[in-house]
């Protein structure tokens, strides 16, 4: 996510490396240790406090196809594509009859509509900006580009499992949608699972992924009580699969090494009535994470890790 706005934390101070690695090693399940060791070869220090953490849950690996080229398997967004990008499910598969909403964070055109995205919307606990522009790597690869590419890859994998997949946006809108509308799209679809895709914009040296879970909120239009439990289940399964498939480690700056963070200030989670999580796939401002995020091969692994977590959750 970007540096300021409704759906992310600003850069945070680092702690010493040794404590983060110790906590992470204790929290990760044995099936994820290989990924952790691979990450350690690449390096990554630090840690910071976060609330509501839990151990990463492993997930079974369902059958899923992958590609390793730098092109997304889905079509490039065009002006003629529909806003929710509803896709017909496969004829059969483990997820036949299931609906998954994918929420690619931000919008490539947001920067041209600052007045629109800066207007405040009600997220239950308070009022926050409609959306933000998102962040980017130091070389200019934007978060919005990353999330759309990852969304297309993820959609292809989920369709092969038989799921019906809907997008909140496909680069086909002039801006937005706002965070409250993003939640409403999942609600109206009666999604069995919803996942918002992001990449963080923290400081250099702050590395790794984290999954954001909804906290218990009951204020205004927000009532997350019914979804807190299933959303945590979804998030733990995605985190476990992400470690195993990508080889990336949980964040060294939020989550105390668990890869899980609970928040009560995100409209996309507060206003959801269906199980939903956010995933920050890495830090675009760190050169080592950026090298992964800009790799089509790695993005395919990321899509498979997220997909397998969703499949595990929906199959129970």
Can you give the three-state secondary structure of 198-253, one letter per residue?
EEECCCCCCCCEEEEEECCCEECCEECHHHHHHHHHHHHHHHHHHHHHHCCCECCC
What gap in Å lies between CA 180 and CA 122, rounded to an integer? Answer: 7
What is the DSSP-derived secondary structure letter of residue 181?
H
Cα–chain-centroid distance for residue 251? 13
What gap in Å lies between CA 153 and CA 301, rounded to an integer? Answer: 9
What tokens were used for 77? 């967004």
What gap in Å lies between CA 88 and CA 104, rounded to an integer? Answer: 19
Collapse the DSSP code of 160 into the 3-class scheme (helix H, G, I; strand E, B; otherwise coil) and give the result: helix
What is the DSSP code string of 58-94?
Answer: P----------SSS-SSPPP-TTS-SS---PPPSSST
What is the DSSP code string of 2-51?
Answer: -SSSTT-PPP-----HHHHHHHHHHHS-GGGHHHHHHHHHH--------S
Catalytically active residues, by annotation = 280
Which H or E run includes 306? helix 296-315
Cα distances from 104 to residues 84, 219, 290, in angstroms, run 11, 26, 18
Residue in this structure with the two tokens 């949608």, named with its chain if needed: 177
């Amino acid at each position: 996510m970007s540096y300021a706005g409704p759906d992310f934390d600003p850069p945070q101070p680092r702690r010493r490396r040794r404590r983060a690695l110790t906590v992470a090693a204790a929290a990760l399940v044995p099936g994820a240790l290989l990924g952790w060791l691979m990450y350690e070869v690449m390096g990554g220090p630090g840690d910071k406090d976060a609330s509501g953490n839990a151990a990463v849950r492993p997930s079974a690996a369902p059958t899923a196809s992958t590609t390793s080229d730098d092109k997304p398997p889905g079509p490039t967004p065009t002006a003629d594509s529909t806003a929710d990008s509803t896709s017909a499910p496969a004829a059969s598969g483990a997820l036949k009859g299931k609906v998954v909403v994918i929420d690619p964070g931000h919008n490539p055109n947001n920067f041209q509509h600052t007045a629109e995205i800066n207007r405040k919307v009600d997220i239950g606990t308070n009022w926050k900006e409609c959306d933000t522009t998102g962040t980017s790597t130091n070389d200019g690869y934007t978060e919005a580009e990353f999330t759309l590419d990852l969304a297309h890859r993820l959609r292809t994998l989920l369709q092969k499992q038989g799921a019906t997949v809907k997008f909140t946006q496909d680069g086909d809108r002039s801006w937005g949608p706002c965070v409250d509308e993003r939640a409403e799209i999942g609600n109206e679809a009666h999604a069995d699972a919803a996942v918002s895709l992001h990449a963080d914009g923290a400081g250099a040296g702050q590395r790794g992924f984290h999954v954001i879970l909804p906290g218990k909120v009951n204020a205004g239009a927000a009532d997350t009580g019914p979804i807190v439990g299933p959303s945590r289940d979804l998030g733990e399964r995605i985190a476990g699969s992400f470690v195993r498939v990508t080889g990336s480690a949980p964040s060294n700056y939020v989550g105390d090494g668990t890869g899980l963070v609970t928040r009560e200030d995100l409209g996309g989670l507060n206003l959801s009535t269906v199980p939903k999580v956010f995933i920050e796939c890495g830090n675009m401002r760190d050169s080592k994470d950026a090298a992964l995020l800009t790799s089509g091969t790695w993005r395919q692994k990321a899509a498979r890790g997220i997909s397998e977590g969703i499949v595990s959750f929906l199959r129970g």
